[in-house]
Amino acid sequence: MTKPRLNFEEHQQLGDRLRDIRDELVHLNVQLANAYPRSGPESAPATELEAAHEAVDRARRGLERALYDEHPRWAATSVYFSRREN
């Protein structure tokens, strides 16, 4: 059985949410990087936040590909990636 795909509006909403999550992760990563050493055990939280924001970006790229496959008529890179980012 084929699962339903996201409609275009759902892609837009998810894109907005993921963009906000990514921006918050980057902000927190910078805050930690400015407060703690960038190497050694104390750097672990910032490193994990960086990995999290990279994972969100990978998910966004995958969802953008799905968007173009599923809704080529309305697809745009601005759905998942916009100038609002850090």
Give domain status of residue 79, yes or no. no
- Give residue 21's domain range: 7-35
Name the strand (E) or helix (H) holding 25. Answer: helix 8-35
Give domain status of residue 62, yes or no. no
Give domain status of residue 21, yes or no. yes
Give domain status of residue 28, yes or no. yes
pLDDT per position as a tens digit, 2-44: 999 999 999 999 999 999 999 999 999 999 999 999 899 999 9
Give domain status of residue 27, yes or no. yes
Residue 49 in contact with residue 25, Cβ under 8 Å?
A: yes
Q: Looking at residue 43, what is its pLDDT?
A: 93
State the SS3 of 26-73.
Answer: HHHHHHHHHHCCCCCHHHHHHHHHHHHHHHHHHHHHHHHHHHHHHCCC
pLDDT per position as a tens digit, 49-84: 999 999 999 999 999 999 999 999 999 999 999 865
Q: What pTM value is reported for the model?
A: 0.87
Q: Looking at residue 86, what is its pLDDT?
A: 53
Give domain status of residue 54, yes or no. no
Give domain status of residue 1, yes or no. no
Q: Looking at residue 39, what is its pLDDT?
A: 92
Give domain status of residue 50, yes or no. no
Domain count within the chain: 1
